[in-house]
Amino acid sequence: QNLIGDFSRKYLLPLVSGRHQDLKSISISTMASLLKDEFKHVIDSYTIVDCRYPYEFNGGHIKVSSCSSLFLPLSFSSSIFVFSLSHLNCRSIIIFHCEFSSERGPKLSRLLRKKDRELNEYPKLNYPELYLLEGGYKAFFSTHPDLCEPKGYIPMTDPSHVSELKYFRNKSSS
């Protein structure tokens, strides 16, 4: 039973078994194929939600292609629907990730689904097709640095960003 959140159809992208059994995960190779437009015949648009802190993002992030957009959630709860899928009747997907896709990415994916459920009559959803990038940016960058810009990776716990880490952790817990 691999139906999207509103149960209207199957997930388009190939799924992998991930750490978070309640979420649908894709492999880094599937993400690379998506970025290379290998799914453009079935997917109208996609949004990559990079859930890392700004200093991590600025050190390197997944490139945005012509049919994708990038959303960096600084205060996600207050702007949960700021990024929009311009063609809600078209096949549009959202892919979440953080450094490892173990905490921040899954948390925000679940939050979006929860808010979407609250705003709609079950089973209708504005964003029915959500994915999590298994392994996160670190795994993606280690295999596909050519699909990242700049071609870099800054860990969340990088010693040169201790004050920023403390700031964003405090901000996200408040």
3-state secondary structure labels for all residues of 87-150: CCCCCEEEEEECCCCCCHHHHHHHHHHHHHHHHCCCCCCCCCCEEEECCHHHHHHHHCHHHEEC
Alpha helices (H) along 36-74: 54-59
98 catalytic? Reply is yes
What are the Cα distances from residue 11, in Å, to 7, 32, 40? Answer: 10, 17, 15
Q: Given 51, 67, 90, 98, which residue is catalytic?
A: 98
Which residues are known catalytic residues?
98
